Chains A and B, each alone.
Chain A
């Protein structure tokens, strides 16, 4: 790893490399061919691959995803780029009732990638959803939530070589994040998390935009003498619970951090799973940090109050370690 790129560039490079070696891959969505997508995520691919494989689509999310499902059944590997994942709601039947179930019902692989930019960044309630738990709750779907350029490239490459429908979520606030990326064969497998920051006292399990926030929170705790281990799950379907358990066996404390709503989300699943498997090891309750159950507001002070911050995470880490029985 030596080349540096933004998250958007890393995605583009991963996709382009796979398109060069696999003629079955095509990508379509609104404003793709000339503009390269709303985050520049496919910029330049139009001129390289032509209009058959990089297509501008009308604002017809149901048709885009439906066409992806049928094309995947008939031998292609489509990438449907919805720009904002918020627009997936216009294609929920195609995602949930078609793409996710076809392998189970009809025995056919469904190599379909649905890419969207997700998460909270400003602009009001309808373009700032964090509904990854919906997708992770659906049997048949894989959900990727990379937090680094290297993982973005490695995960999109795995998605494009797999057989399953993948919801590929790239956070708005991470689009310009710069970092090292891997080469053409540096794939990141689904279902394998990684330790971003080692620590002996408490484990933080998180993914996506709250990875850097959790690392910042761990920095705050370090100055107070508490070393937090930050795990980046990278995909939430599948979910690498083994890595979390391996860490918690050492730290005996766990805080689960999501940007999405705490209530009923994937963080609750992680907390419940660890309570079941490591009840005797834990020195206190598993705590969760997540958004309150409210749509994202427009006004900055309201939004800040409703979005989990590094300070919120640090507060929870203090509460969890204060509950330590030792």
Chain B
């Protein structure tokens, strides 16, 4: 990974972000989390292409700021659910990169022992209630977690991440409506990265305004620059405070862009290289934060480089851990499907 901004002309077009009120510790924490996500994804992608990670992968490169900004506004006991593209949320929620990498490899040392994999990461003990292979479905689980928090008065807030593709799934609006009428402590974060698999958002989204749709259900709905971690954090913090205060759900549409294709290996025939390069040059969320930290002199260049080296070492160690970990024992495949014996005949 290279976190320098490239040629000067390109770097000049990088939009600054407003870090007023952000101290050095906060800035370093955001940068470390976002750099870790970037390093994790760019390291894992070739491992997928080489077949060392089975089952494909949806990279979150370009969307680091949404996860770090939103999860940064949560308490450790709060709950998140993700989409098929959720390594960024999973890392931000505090799951260790070596364990996630092992899960991607299908190894016994993964948090799910290889039963989940890239699209179904979870760790309930950390408030990670699952990334989800079904578009829109994770939001439904967050809705239920918020219902339990409301009924049992735990004070938890649940955040359900969805993408722009989910804005055209009918059940998503069932979830938003139920959260609204039951005044649940839920924050809905729609990462609009402009493409549902290969289909441009504008081509398939009537009205072209996801937050506008949400506001019709009687809850506050905002759009935010999803590639500006500070902006995401500020609006998420307000939504989380509102939810925790018993005032109900908020919908946040985070406008972002995925730098890679839908999945690793996508040939990306549906968009131009120029389009991708323009987004990267103007608003790469990791570079924007790095540049703005340097401009505001919140951290010295050596500190930023130190973080880069730390996350690189962390991810390299994660790959080594995953590679050297054992596979699960095939004899355990039928374990834990149900709590009681289902008395199935002819099972292995």
Chain A residues with CB under 8 Å of chain B are 24, 26, 52-53, 55, 57-58, 60, 62-76, 78, 93-94, 97-98, 102-109, 139-140, 142, 162-164, 190-191, 237-242, 273, 276-277
Contacts and interface: CB of A to CB of B under 8 A. Distances in A.
A70 B340 contact: no
B232 interface: no
B177 A75 contact: no
In the complex, the 6 A-B pairs of residues with the closest C-beta atoms, listed nearest first: A70-B144, A66-B140, A163-B339, A74-B148, A63-B174, A62-B171
Nearest to B113: A107
20 contacts: A63-B174, A63-B175, A63-B178, A65-B140, A66-B137, A66-B144, A70-B141, A70-B142, A70-B146, A72-B144, A73-B145, A97-B134, A98-B137, A104-B337, A105-B120, A142-B338, A142-B340, A237-B342, A240-B343, A241-B345
Contacts of B147: 67, 70-71, 74, 76, 78
B337 A70 contact: no
A120 B234 CA distance: 55
A144 to B, nearest CB: 12
Given A69-B144, A70-B129, A142-B342, 10 more contacts: A60-B171, A63-B171, A66-B139, A71-B145, A75-B148, A103-B337, A106-B115, A139-B337, A140-B337, A164-B340
Interface of B: 79, 81, 112, 115-116, 120, 122, 124, 129-130, 132-134, 137, 139-149, 151-152, 154, 156, 158, 170-171, 174-175, 177-178, 181-182, 336-346
A60 B178 contact: yes
Nearest to A90: B171
Contacts of A68: 144
Contacts of A73: 124, 129, 141, 144-145, 148
Contacts of A52: 151
Contacts of A273: 345-346
Contact of A93 (B158, B171, B181, B344): B171
Given A105-B112, A241-B345, A66 B145 contact: no
A278 to B, nearest CB: 12
B181 to A, nearest CB: 7
A190 B340 CA distance: 9
A75 B154 CA distance: 10
